[in-house]
Structures are given as structure tokens and as C-alpha cells.
């Protein structure tokens, strides 16, 4: 699926529960902080793509260990992302 260019100022309210000032740039910054912290914890300085794959894989291991439906989480995450980047 092709997505429009990243718009760091775009605000998308999905369910009325999010902060009304939470922009896509804030989402990206929050994820960047988490990924860099994760890399630091693992003692690696891999590129952001490699760290993202590793972090997502480890989150899937966590979900699986807790009996959470991994496919359901992935589908919901993809739906949220697609909603947040849609113009």
C-alpha cells in the first residue's frame, strides 16, 4: 500500500480519547525515543529499521507469552496507522 508523504503536523482523532494536540510528528518522536532506548538496553547501535524489526518482534514475543492474539494486535495497529496517515 502506498502512503502519502509523512505530515508531522497532521492530527487524527480516532476515538475522542486522544489528546487533541497529538500529531503524527509526536507519534514518530515517541516511537523514536522508544526504539533508541530499546537499542541502548540491548547494547546495540543498529540502524532504525533493524532496531524496529527487533523491537516489534520482541513485542510479539511478549504478547504471545501473555496469550494475546498477535494477529489481532497487528491488524489493529495497521488500521490505526492507515487512519493516522490518510489525508
Has residue 37 been placed in a domain? yes
pTM: 0.79
pLDDT score, position 37:
96
Has residue 15 been placed in a domain? no
Q: Nine-digit cell at 75? A: 491488524
Has residue 80 been placed in a domain? yes
pLDDT score, position 16:
59
Has residue 13 been placed in a domain? no
pLDDT score, position 85:
86
pLDDT score, position 45:
83
Chain Cα centroid distance, residue 16: 19
Has residue 42 been placed in a domain? yes
**What residues of the chain score a pLDDT lower than 70?**
1, 13-20, 87
Domain of residue 59: give its range.
24-85
* Cell 494536540, located at residue: 21
Q: How many domains does the chain have?
A: 1
pLDDT score, position 14:
62
Question: Over the stretch 14-39, which tens digit does the pLDDT of each residue have?
Answer: 655 666 678 889 999 999 999 999 99
Amino acid at each position: 500500500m502506498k502512503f502519502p508523504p509523512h505530515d508531522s503536523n497532521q492530527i487524527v482523532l480516532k476515538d475522542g480519547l486522544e489528546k487533541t494536540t497529538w500529531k503524527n510528528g509526536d507519534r514518530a518522536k515517541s516511537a523514536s525515543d522508544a526504539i533508541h532506548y530499546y537499542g541502548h538496553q540491548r547494547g546495540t547501535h543498529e540502524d532504525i529499521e533493524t532496531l524496529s524489526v527487533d523491537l516489534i518482534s520482541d513485542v510479539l514475543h511478549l504478547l504471545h507469552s501473555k496469550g494475546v492474539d498477535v494477529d489481532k494486535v497487528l491488524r489493529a495497529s495497521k488500521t490505526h496507522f492507515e487512519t493516522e496517515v490518510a489525508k
